[in-house]
């Protein structure tokens, strides 16, 4: 199966990757080759098989709703590219 | 000193023959003079290591009497280490200094281990050759024109070169076992959920598992002991006691039933590597194990299943890198969309972008059922193969890879060839079972590993089988020329 440039452009948009036309063409070829490999899955009869999301079949563990950690806002914000008075700064969203 | 086992080093320190400072100085000096050709380390924590060693010797740290007090160790750069850059092999996180320790790292710290540095790795653990790293490829100490394997290639190469007695790693599709095999060291990937994933940068959360590399199964038992265990901070961590791994090393495997999956010895396996694996299996039989042929009939679905599921999970996990809270941000973004798309295009390398896009594709409307849901079902078939096999046998023995280490650059531009490499290691991750690689011999001067797989939570059985093999053979004692 061959992916078109348009399909790859759509996937890149979903993944928020800003790619130029040259990169789109390269990825179209790479992704097509990889997705071809997936055709082996069609051979498997899975009509009666439940999907497996987790290797141990565990369900989410519950815990008491008690505060456990102190706020580390300053530590975390020290890592951010742009902060101001405790908030993260991004380009203007609302005109 | 790099020849000595962990228990020997710890005993020597306890007896006053060696100090933690001696250990740190010795291995830091080896790193300084030997890592130049390997590129196995991305950060060296010389000052903090020496300081901690001095404090350990002075009894000034809480863990001065811990089981691993003074043991030098390296961490894969995927594990968060407080105050030390944790870059995950990516430009995206090149400026990320972790604000906390991963639980596995904290466990080793509280046993008294001393971090000497962080090891190179494939970007976000995506790769089988350690060539996708932002910091450049790692060379295999056995032949520096060959790959060390990946994604934990730096850890494997560093232990093989005697730059530290042990190193941590992670294994999502073979990233501990494959580099351990290609570098001639012992590496264990525990059962999914055995080692906490807290602070271990996520790639594919239903597959990722932390483990370690060392020079022997016995050494791995010591290191794993301090990494394994329940962690309330990881929702998939398993609440189950950790047995005493060292105490399980009787070296006796008489009567153990070991299965050989015929699918792992079929077409594609290099005949010379096969001969090494066959000889290792004969050795296990000589030690009293009973060898049984078994089938894992859905093995041929494993690569496709994995390369649908792992990228799908990766595309979701890596959505967090948005250039807002941490990590790389592009210069002068004009709007929020530009900030996201340019930061991600600049911050992620080609293989990571490829996998994010595969993931986004298989999860997208119209393809979800055909790929993602289908692969979740074939995953169950593969896992079921193992539970049926373990009704008949106690362990499985197999090759780790189809051939010894390939040359740097040989497969880098052919992702499909690179992915097909992982055929023998991926199934264990899909099923969640533990596995290890032990050195079993050489082909043309390059190491070959024997893979051992055990039922869920039977790490002790795995380690004991590896230990029994290493009591009877000396493959694990060979050192790469120039790194003795």
Q: So what's the ipTM on this one? A: 0.95
Judge whether A70 is closer than 8 Å to chain B, CB to CB: no
How many residues can be counted in chain A? 95
Separation in Å, CA of A70 to nearest CA in chain B: 13
Q: Which residue has the tokens 């399980």?
A: B248
> What would the DSSP string read from start to end of A6-54?
HHHHHHHHHTT----HHHHHHHHHHHHHHHHHGGGGGGS--TT-----S
Cis? peptide before B151, omega within 30° of 0: yes
Q: Three-class SS of residue B37? A: helix
State how far the alpha carbon of B262 is from the alpha carbons of B118, B300, B379, B388, B440, in Å. Answer: 39, 12, 19, 15, 19
* Shortest Cα–Cα distance, B327 to chain A (Å): 7
By residue count, chain B amounts to: 484
3-class DSSP assignment, residue B237: coil
Q: What percent of chain B has pLDDT over 90?
A: 98
Q: Is B83 on the interface with A (CB under 8 A)?
A: no
* Opening angle at CA B436, ends B431 and B441, nearest 5: 135
pLDDT of residue B346: 98
Query: Buried b / exposed e across A55-82, counting CB within 10 Å, b at 16+?
Result: beeeeeeeeeeeeeeeeeeeeebebbbe
User: Hey, is the C-beta of B47 within 8 angstroms of any chain A C-beta?
Assistant: no
Please give the pLDDT value at position B349.
Answer: 98
Q: Mean pLDDT across the stretch B233-243?
A: 94
Domain formed by A1-44, architecture? Orthogonal Bundle (1.10)
Q: Which of B40, B128, B152, B175 is catalytic?
A: B175
pLDDT given at position A72: 87
Three-class DSSP category at B426? helix
Rounded to an integer, the average pLDDT of B219-248 is: 96
Q: Does B376 lie at the interface with A, CB-CB under 8 angstroms?
A: yes
Of B353, B378, B383, the CB nearest to A41: B378
Question: Rounded distance, CA B181 to CA B446, Å?
Answer: 10
Q: Mean pLDDT in chain B?
A: 97
What pLDDT is attached to residue A58? 73
Inter-chain CB proximity B378 and A46 less than 8 Å:
yes
Asked if B344 lies within 8 A of A16 by C-beta distance, the reply is yes
Is-catalytic flag, B246?
A: no
Q: What is the arrangement of strands in the sheet containing B395-399, beginning at the earlier edge strand? A: B41-44, B114-119, B72-76, B166-170, B210-214, B186-189, B435-443, B446-453, B395-399, B257-261, B290-294
Cβ separation of B326 and A18 shorter than 8 Å?
Answer: no
C-alpha span between B13 and B18 (Å, rounded): 5
For residue B38, give the DSSP letter. T
What pLDDT is recorded for position A71?
82
Tell me the helix, strand and coil percentages in chain B, rounded to 5: 45, 15, 40
Residues of B in contact with A72 (CB under 8 A): 99
Quick one: pLDDT band at residue B31, thresholds 50, 70, 90?
very high
Chain A residues lying within 8 Å of B232, measured CB to CB: 63
Contacts of residues A58-64 at CB distance under 8 Å and 24 or more positions apart, as own/partner, are A58/B193, A58/B236, A58/B238, A60/B235, A61/B235, A61/B239, A63/B232
Q: Chain B: residue nearest A82 by CA?
A: B324
* Contact B361/A at CB under 8 A: yes
Can B151 be counted among the known catalytic residues? Answer: yes
The alpha-helical segments, DSSP class H, found in B228-335 are 271-286, 302-317
Q: Decide if B331 touches A, using CB distance below 8 A.
A: no
Strands (E), B6-63: 41-44
Is B197 in CB contact (< 8 Å) with chain A?
no
Span B289-301, pLDDT tens digits? 999 999 999 999 9
Residue with the two structure tokens 């990494």: B227
Q: Which of residues 87-126 of B touch A (CB under 8 A)?
A: 95-97, 99
Q: Which pair of structure tokens corresponds to residue A10?
A: 């759509």
A15:B344 CB<8 A:
yes
Choose, out of B132, B336, B378, the residue to mutate when testing the contact with A (most A CBs < 10 Å): B378
- Which of helix, strand or coil describes residue B97? strand
- List the alpha helices (DSSP H) in B35-152: 46-58, 103-110
Give all domains of chain B, ordered by start, each with its CATH number: 6-253 (3.90.1300.10), 300-376 (no CATH)
Tokens 């972790």 correspond to: B98
CA of A79 vs chain B CAs: smallest distance (Å)? 5
- Residue contact B348–A16, C-beta within 8 A: no
Report the pLDDT value the prediction gives residue B482, as an integer from 0 to 100.
96
Whether B90 is a known active-site residue: answer: no
Q: How far apart are CA B47 and CA B56, in angstroms?
A: 14
Per-domain residue ranges of chain A: 1-44
Least confident interval from A47-61, B176-190, B251-265, B457-471: A47-61
Q: What is the pTM of this model?
A: 0.97
Contacts of B79 (CB under 8 A, 6+ apart): B86, B102, B104, B105, B118, B168, B170, B199, B200, B201, B210
* Whether the predicted pLDDT of A93 surpasses 90: no
pLDDT of residue B62: 78
Residues of chain B with C-beta less than 8 angstroms from the C-beta of A12: 357
Size of interface A-B (CB pairs under 8 A): 172
A51 touches chain B (CB under 8 A): yes
């Amino acid at each position: 199966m061959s992916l078109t440039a348009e399909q790859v452009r759509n996937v890149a948009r979903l993944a928020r990757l800003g790619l130029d036309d040259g990169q789109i063409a390269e990825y179209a070829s790479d992704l097509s080759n990889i997705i071809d490999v997936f055709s082996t899955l069609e051979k498997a009869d899975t009509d009666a098989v439940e999907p497996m999301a987790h290797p141990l079949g565990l369900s989410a563990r519950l815990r008491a709703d008690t505060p456990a950690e102190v706020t580390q806002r300053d530590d975390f914000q020290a890592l951010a590219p742009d902060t101001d008075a405790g908030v993260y700064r991004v380009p203007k969203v609302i005109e | 000193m790099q020849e000595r086992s962990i228990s020997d080093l710890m005993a020597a320190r306890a007896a006053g023959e060696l100090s933690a400072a001696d250990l740190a100085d010795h291995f830091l000096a080896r790193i300084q003079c030997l890592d130049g050709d390997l590129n196995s380390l991305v950060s060296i924590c010389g000052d903090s290591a020496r300081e901690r060693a001095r404090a350990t010797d002075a009894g000034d740290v809480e863990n001065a009497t811990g089981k691993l007090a003074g043991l030098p160790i390296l961490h894969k750069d995927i594990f968060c280490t407080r105050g030390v850059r944790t870059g995950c092999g990516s430009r995206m996180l090149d400026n990320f200094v972790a604000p906390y320790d991963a639980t596995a790292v904290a466990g080793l710290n509280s046993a008294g281990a001393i971090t000497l540095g962080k090891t190179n790795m494939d970007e976000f653990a995506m790769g089988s050759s350690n060539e996708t790293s932002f910091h450049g490829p790692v060379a295999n100490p056995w032949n520096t024109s060959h790959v060390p394997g990946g994604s934990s290639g730096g850890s494997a190469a560093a232990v093989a070169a005697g730059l530290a007695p042990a190193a941590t790693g992670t294994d999502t599709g073979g990233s501990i076992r494959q580099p351990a095999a290609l570098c001639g060291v012992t590496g264990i990937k525990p059962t999914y959920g055995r080692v906490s994933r807290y602070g271990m940068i996520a790639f594919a959360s239903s597959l990722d598992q932390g483990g370690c590399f060392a020079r022997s199964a016995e050494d791995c038992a010591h290191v794993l002991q301090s990494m394994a265990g329940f962690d309330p901070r990881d929702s998939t961590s398993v609440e189950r006691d950790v047995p005493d791994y060292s105490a399980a090393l009787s070296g006796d495997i008489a009567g153990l039933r070991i299965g050989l999956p015929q699918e792992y010895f079929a077409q594609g396996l290099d005949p010379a590597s096969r001969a090494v694996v066959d000889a290792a299996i004969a050795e296990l039989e000589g030690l009293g194990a009973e060898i049984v042929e078994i089938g894992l009939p859905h093995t041929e679905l494993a690569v496709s299943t994995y390369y649908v599921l792992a990228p799908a999970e990766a595309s979701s996990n890596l959505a967090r890198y948005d250039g807002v809270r941490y990590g790389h941000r592009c210069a002068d973004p004009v709007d929020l969309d530009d900030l996201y798309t340019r930061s991600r295009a600049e911050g992620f390398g080609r293989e990571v972008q490829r996998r994010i896009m595969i993931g986004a594709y298989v999860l997208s409307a119209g393809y979800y059922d055909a790929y993602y849901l289908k692969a979740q079902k074939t995953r169950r078939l593969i896992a079921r193969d193992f539970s049926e096999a373990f009704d008949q046998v106690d362990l499985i023995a197999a090759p780790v890879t189809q051939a010894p280490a390939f040359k740097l650059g040989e497969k880098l531009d052919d992702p499909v060839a690179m992915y097909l490499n992982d055929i023998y290691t991926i199934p264990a991750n899909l099923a969640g079972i533990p596995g290890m690689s032990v050195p079993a011999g050489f082909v043309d001067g390059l190491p070959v590993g024997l893979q051992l797989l055990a039922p869920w939570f039977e790490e002790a059985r795995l380690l004991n089988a590896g230990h029994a093999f290493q009591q009877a053979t000396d493959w694990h004692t060979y050192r790469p020329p120039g790194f003795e």
